[in-house]
Structure 1
């Protein structure tokens, strides 16, 4: 099935208390039959509990058009969605803001959830947000943790699901630093391209800005 998830702008601003970053990612969806939708999702580092926000708009200018709003939260090792009344973002393909009740009664709600699933699967910023939601941990070498070296090898262990971030210096288990994976991406956004590595896979690159290739 031929679909397109087109990443748009990423807006990043410090949170009101300056303890983290508030991020909002925008994009467009094109379905196999030319169906259009716009979306926005966002999260704020430092917030507790970890809950993200989502808006999906369809049918701009049409009687049945509207913008659906939801929260995204961790659930049983994955993520889940719940419709809400409070609007999050205005998006180009959207129409009037729908309440949770109106959204549940809308005939196109299954299409909206289908769009949402594809966005979470294909938008790289959604991978970043998902690791934040789930609190994914990683082990970094001391050199990459201190930012003395860039991450050149990243792996996702098949047995325990641990992510490892390694630079030019070989990994030394006695000096590895455990932290949340999303913090490493906060510091080096070029890691975003490999945040969907399946367990048992790894990727490497020659330097920052160079393409990632499979290390398997």
Structure 2
């Protein structure tokens, strides 16, 4: 699948260690309003500062192609879903 985001593939993104290790799916995505940073989290576990990892947006896309459904999500919005195959619910902060 071709990289679908408008941001460059090497755009920095935050991913939680649970998703990175394959322990949990991406269930929460934030496109931060203040800096445009993307965050991809499991949404189930309380996170400590040390749980975050800095990766490229392409790394996240390669890990889970289903995040491509959020390619048009503007800054200041977040999306949640119940499971890896669930539909994304996009909401404004």
TM-score greater than 0.5 by the shorter chain: yes
Larger radius of gyration: 1
Q: CA RMSD in A?
A: 1.7
SS in 2 for 1:191: helix
Structure with greater strand percent:
1
Measure, in 2, the Cα distance between the counterparts of 1:190 and 1:212.
10
1:141–1:175 Cα contact (<8 Å) kept? yes
Q: Which residue of structure 2 lines up, in the alignment, with residue 126 of structure 1?
A: 4
Measure, in 2, the Cα distance between the counterparts of 1:166 and 1:215.
16
Structure with the bigger RCO (C-alpha within 8 Å, sep 6+) is 2
1:1-216 to structure 2, matched below 5 A, reads 10=1, 23=2, 125-127=3-5, 130-132=7-9, 135-167=10-42, 168-216=44-92
Measure, in 1, the Cα distance between the counterparts of 2:89 and 2:36.
20
SS in 1 for 2:5: helix
Measure, in 1, the Cα distance between the counterparts of 2:24 and 2:4.
26
Structure 2 length normalisation: TM-score?
A: 0.85
Structure 1 length normalisation: TM-score?
A: 0.39
Structure 1 unaligned residues grouped into runs of 5+: 1-9, 11-22, 24-124
Measure, in 2, the Cα distance between the counterparts of 1:195 and 1:126.
6
* Count of residue pairs the alignment pairs up: 91
Structure 2 unaligned residues grouped into runs of 5+: none
Extract structure 1 runs of 4+ deviating beyond 6 A: none
SS in 2 for 1:177: strand
CA apart distance, 1:177: 0.4
